[in-house]
Structure 1
């Protein structure tokens, strides 16, 4: 580390924990002006072994562990899914996917840099960090995990000696807050054939996601009340409506598909607390909520999208769907009910 030795960081960390003992590691890193990867590498409140090899190789081997808990998060949303890593497609390219019935992921490996086996308060995990030292993805051992396979995985990938953490911040975004030609954006939007083409459309117009929503027109994107997420989840739970929940950071997208049942609020956090799926959403971080409407070859697809103060996407919700199948009518009706004017159809 350039600004602190491991010993100096541990001393500052221990003083922080003594003064404020209930902080999670992400918050401790923020208060110390460090990164989570640096705290893990320095053994601040944890024991760790660094893992070596390419991100793809270390990740591909997760399928050997049996049932685990997969966690991906950003500053305002935490997505946890129990199950097995199955159908892992992670060759040496920059993009990988996991398409199991339990764990569903999209990985962007060019951002990944540091990997550790971590024990914190008796809880074991495999943790992946990006080049800026931010956590990308964590895999937690559970009572259902194959204990021998877990240890064998660590032994296969552990480095004989740890390497330094050299934090390399990512370049600031150069996306514009509004498109140069809003009508051209609108034309291209209405010409979409697949929701996956939306990102390339944004790049073509050099506009941020939130900037596109604000300039697309009410039939394509409408801002709705920030309490909409609770309305949608409660209605989905009441009607047993199957949904999709996407939480992403720079290096991964984690997806839950299925119903939600147990909902609860704890302070600023609104939670889904089901046996296989947990979502923790800090609703005080949400500064705008949007119903977004995109055309596809299978018909229109609507989503509820929540954004933070800097225009960052926090979480997306869709009705359960697969390519070749139209959107669930009940989901479409639910999202339309949030909107003051009609969506394009």
Structure 2
């Protein structure tokens, strides 16, 4: 017999019990264990330390620069990407609902069709080791987090309070309804794909940004593309490739780009990585303005991927989960019009192939 979803009161009681008993558990993890979404769990604090926001996310995002330096966090089930900086140059394109943030440190691609719920959260002191934090948290219609913005010691708290007041929702009840997101359609069987046509078009690419439209045009999933391109454009490497790549980049002082995405946001780090630490199952970058946590146990496949461009070949390391979703992608630091760094290419070429 199917069970009823937990009530807001039940969620709140169970969440309070979790926070009162260390070790700390992240809301995303706690919600999953309780059979609820993270947005539903966060909403149980409405009327106390949480404020539901009314929407108008584009206007809100354009005002984030008033907060000064903040920490931006985007994550998926296996990777957490954090950057500290200022939200400058926020732009949107219509009618596709795409947004861009192009500050040196805060570099985001926003997919606004997945921004449906928002909350201002003041974490109770017993829920964080640092004594509590203020944040803005945004979620998809199914309650999955798409992006979060945390105040730092240098942020303007008065500007934060003004922003929360301006976007406060009339409804501050602890109940939050969510709607399942439509599942992706089934992968097209290999036998129904014009593989040679697809690979020929891959070889004609002029920009890495053209790869996603190429997948759509040929009705090929990303995981399927990596497999079909093996030996020509891709090479399977061990799941440990992440730590070997980051170690080599740190030792050789090779600046890189690290992409981590949620359904509604792609967050990018560009620059060096320096301080690395393994805390199994997580492998971490712990630099002042960039932090990465990646669960190595969640890596199902790792691939070295080559794409032709007008600037020459561009090589990346792509990490995939068992569900076929991208966990993270790593490139050498590069701007349009520049060829790929030789030291980055050498790092990936040194990775052994998986039989």
Scaled to the shorter chain, the TM-score interval is over 0.9
CA shift, 1:9, in A, is 2.3
* Whole-angstrom CA distance in 2 between matches of 1:276 and 1:232: 20
Alignment-derived partner of residue 128 in structure 2: none
CA 1:266–1:62 in 2, change beyond 3 Å: closer, same or farther?
Answer: same
Distance in 1 (CA, whole Å) between partners of 2:22 and 2:288 is 31
Question: Offset at 1:150?
Answer: 1.4
- Misfit runs of 4+, over 2 Å: 2-5, 11-22, 90-93, 160-166
Offset of 1:16 from its aligned partner? 4.8
* CA shift digits 1:165-197 (9 cap, x unpaired): 321111111152654122111111111111111
* Counterpart in the other structure of 1:37: 39
Q: Does 1:22 align with 2:24?
A: yes
More strand per residue: 1
Q: Distance in 2 between matches of 1:91 and 1:290?
A: 32
Q: Secondary structure at the match of 2:171?
A: coil
Q: Please provide the CA RMSD for this pair.
A: 1.9
Q: How many residues align?
A: 339
2:105 to 102, 106, 109: 102
Aligned counterparts of 2:330 and 2:76: Cα–Cα separation in 1: 16
Is 1:152 aligned with 2:165?
Answer: no
Measured in 1, the distance between the counterparts of 2:248 and 2:114 equals 37
Q: State how far apart, in whole Å, the 1-side matches of 2:276 and 2:9 are.
A: 42
Instruction: Give the alignment of 1:96-245 within 5 angstroms.
Output: 96-120=99-123, 121=125, 122-162=132-172, 165-176=176-187, 179=190, 180-245=193-258
- Report Cα offsets for 1:268-287 as digits up to 9, x if no partner: 10000000000001001101
User: Greater shift after overlay, 126-135 or 92-101?
Assistant: 92-101
Q: Indicate if the aligned counterparts of 1:51 and 1:154 stay in contact, CA closer than 8 A.
A: yes
* TM value normalised by structure 1: 0.93
TM-score by length of 2: 0.91
CA displacement 1:282-301 (0-9 Å, x = unmatched): 00110110000001111110
SS of residue paired to 1:143:
coil
Q: Secondary structure at the match of 1:318?
A: strand
Work out which of the residue numbers 331, 335, 339 in structure 1 matches 2:348.
335
Out of 250, 257, 272, the residue aligned to residue 259 of structure 1 is 272
Alpha-carbon contact 1:298-1:326 (below 8 Å) kept: yes
Extract unaligned runs of 5+ from structure 2: 126-131
Counterpart-to-counterpart distance in 2, 1:199 and 1:295: 14
What is the correspondence of 1:48-127 to structure 2 with a 5 Å cutoff? 48-90=50-92, 93=95, 94-120=97-123, 121=125, 122-127=132-137
Q: SS at the partner of 2:31?
A: helix
Unaligned runs of 5+ in 1: none
